[in-house]
A and B are shown apart, each in its own frame.
Chain A
């Protein structure tokens, strides 16, 4: 492992940074400019008069709109009023995401454990069925889903949003976890069972530490899928009581004159909760104690 290796690593490091960060830096750059500054050619590579006005607007739209009405009357620049729902939407999204994540981690763990370790009649078929449900294009099940939720009187509730997001994430998460379970040596569990531990004890004491990276990974997948899901949430929500972030941001950008500064500010702020979550979880993602657990 000499100098060429180090050099290659450094190149890779830089490439990944540029690839991931360029659009983000550009978004931050735009969000710190005012609308006329954004719409100039050639574009500004850094904000000429950096201001947090867009962020203030996104966080407290009501106050900002009132202030502008006072100073400019109704002739001021065009502002998307739906931004008023933005703070509530972030809270909704976090709640929905955390619940979907927790449910996914517990349910997928139990389901995969049973699917891979217990032989019962129809287990394969049950598994295929759960995966098949996910293979249907979302557009095709949108209307049936709407009707079901309508009849259950669950439209426009957070519960409905959570249910839909779990429906979206659980099958693929069970499948992902299955492949990790299949690669685990069963001897540890057999030994634990011989020592008199029950199935659940075996699962939580011995198996969970071994598949921790995968468990964390599916948790992150569940949260992120829920965080980004747009189409179904748009369909089943009507008021700010249950609208999640992508829907509100979608409305904000579906305006005749796209307010670029406000949209990018909303996007930059929306990154913060998931990034905190990933920062907390990342260290558990790395090097699950696979080798150590087999010895124990």
Chain B
């Protein structure tokens, strides 16, 4: 398994994909949650709106994103063309780096709701007395955020990071609908590769070995997150 050409390639693609998508999703969702839990007109609408991408079947959202970047009828090409940035339509999905970016864009779009929802619920459960106390003590906005909001949200942050990681190293549906692993296997992430070994080549042994490998990677990453966020155990008890 380790010797095959595809394995290393898919490992590299997965690493690129994960390294780009996980921070984007976690920080964007934190930012969105912080914004939409404030009191302003329209906040309620936004709290509802941000969950919408979740409600569409992945097959459909993948198809829509693919269509937006379509080489013949896509709106992205048309906008660039009208702005004069390109002289003719470009088949984005067949170019390695654009294909990866489209995948990232679609993945971020469909993945944002869940971390946002969890951060929202987490922010709601921060006792307001803490902020009042900080305000009385004359704390600056940034140090209030760091010592209260961020500390309080750390366990939720951990869940979000882990969940996003798992989804990133397992993501399959979107790759299948948008790029089919191409071009030249550049977006064939490890899950896609495993799926092919199992259901196309019917090599169950290799597929099992691959999934155990993914499981081990997952466990190593999770252990690293615990260390990075300085949470010793899973904190079952207060």
- Per DSSP, are chain B's interface residues mostly helix, strand or loop, or mixed? helix
CB distance A213 to B124 under 8 Å?
yes
Q: Is A227 an interface residue (CB 8 A)?
A: yes
CB distance B58 to A228 under 8 Å?
yes
CB distance B118 to A217 under 8 Å?
yes
CB distance B159 to A274 under 8 Å?
no
CB distance A172 to B121 under 8 Å?
no
Q: Contacts A115-B236, A227-B55, A270-B55 hold; do A214 and B127 have CB atoms under 8 A apart?
A: no
Q: Which residue of A lies closest to B120 (CB)?
A: A285
CB distance B124 to A291 under 8 Å?
no
The residue in A19, A123, A294 that gathers the most chain B C-beta atoms within 10 A of its C-beta is A19
Minimum Cβ distance to chain A for residue B176 (Å): 10
In angstroms, Cα B111 to Cα A224, docked, is: 12
In angstroms, Cα B222 to Cα A128, docked, is: 13
Contact of B63 among A45, A214, A253 (CB under 8 A): A253
Q: Which residue of A lies closest to B231 (CB)?
A: A179
Contact of A288 among B57, B118, B125, B194 (CB under 8 A): B125
CB distance A221 to B117 under 8 Å?
yes
Contact of B64 among A23, A176, A245, A270 (CB under 8 A): A23
Q: Is A103 an interface residue (CB 8 A)?
A: no
Q: Is B180 an interface residue (CB 8 A)?
A: no
B194: chain A residues at CB < 8 Å are: 137, 139
Q: Is A48 an interface residue (CB 8 A)?
A: no
In angstroms, Cα B121 to Cα A39, docked, is: 43
CB distance A16 to B236 under 8 Å?
no
CB distance A286 to B49 under 8 Å?
no
Q: Which residue of B lies closest to A8 (CB)?
A: B35
Q: Is B11 an interface residue (CB 8 A)?
A: no
Minimum Cβ distance to chain A for residue B167 (Å): 11
Q: Is A199 an interface residue (CB 8 A)?
A: no
Q: Is B181 an interface residue (CB 8 A)?
A: no
CB distance B57 to A267 under 8 Å?
yes
In angstroms, Cα B186 to Cα A55, docked, is: 37
Minimum Cβ distance to chain B for residue A154 (Å): 22
Q: Contacts A172-B163, A246-B57, A291-B129 hold; do A286 and B47 have CB atoms under 8 A apart?
A: yes
Contact of A136 among B72, B120, B129, B215 (CB under 8 A): B215
Q: Contacts A124-B236, A128-B234, A224-B114 hold; do A282 and B44 have CB atoms under 8 A apart?
A: yes
Q: Is B204 an interface residue (CB 8 A)?
A: yes
B72: chain A residues at CB < 8 Å are: 39, 41
Contact of B215 among A41, A116, A135, A271 (CB under 8 A): A135
In angstroms, Cα B75 to Cα A38, docked, is: 11
Minimum Cβ distance to chain B for residue A240 (Å): 16
In angstroms, Cα B34 to Cα A206, docked, is: 27
8 A Cβ contacts from B132-188 to A? 152, 155-156, 159, 163, 166, 169-170, 172-173, 177
Q: Is A30 an interface residue (CB 8 A)?
A: yes
Q: Contacts A20-B50, A136-B215, A213-B121 hold; do A43 and B44 have CB atoms under 8 A apart?
A: no
Q: Is A220 an interface residue (CB 8 A)?
A: yes
CB distance B67 to A224 under 8 Å?
no
The residue in A16, A216, A270, A291 that gathers the most chain B C-beta atoms within 10 A of its C-beta is A16
CB distance B54 to A228 under 8 Å?
yes
B225: chain A residues at CB < 8 Å are: none
The residue in A27, A39, A40 that gathers the most chain B C-beta atoms within 10 A of its C-beta is A27
In angstroms, Cα B212 to Cα A175, docked, is: 23
CB distance B125 to A263 under 8 Å?
no
Give B residues with C-beta under 8 Å from A.
32, 35-38, 40, 42, 44, 46-61, 63-65, 67-68, 72-75, 78, 81, 89, 109, 113-114, 117-118, 120-122, 124-129, 152, 155-156, 159, 163, 166, 169-170, 172-173, 177, 191, 194-195, 198, 204, 207-208, 211-212, 214-215, 218-219, 222, 233-238
Further contacts, 16 of them, CB under 8 A, given A116-B237, A214-B125:
A20-B109, A23-B68, A43-B74, A116-B238, A117-B237, A124-B233, A140-B208, A185-B238, A213-B124, A228-B54, A249-B60, A253-B63, A267-B56, A270-B57, A271-B56, A278-B55
17 A-B residue pairings within 8 Å (CB atoms): A13-B35, A13-B42, A13-B46, A23-B65, A38-B73, A43-B75, A115-B236, A124-B233, A135-B219, A139-B211, A140-B207, A176-B156, A180-B122, A213-B124, A253-B63, A264-B64, A282-B48
Give A residues with C-beta under 8 Å from B.
9, 12-13, 16-17, 19-21, 23-24, 26-27, 30, 38-43, 45, 115-117, 123-124, 127-128, 131, 135-140, 142-143, 172, 175-176, 178-186, 211, 213-214, 216-217, 220-221, 224, 227-228, 230-231, 245-246, 249-250, 253, 258, 260, 263-264, 266-267, 270-271, 274-275, 278-279, 282-283, 285-288, 290-291, 294
For the complex of A and B, list the 10 residue pairs with the smallest distance between their C-beta atoms, beginning with the closest: A267-B60, A140-B211, A274-B55, A179-B155, A217-B121, A213-B121, A246-B57, A271-B55, A213-B124, A137-B211
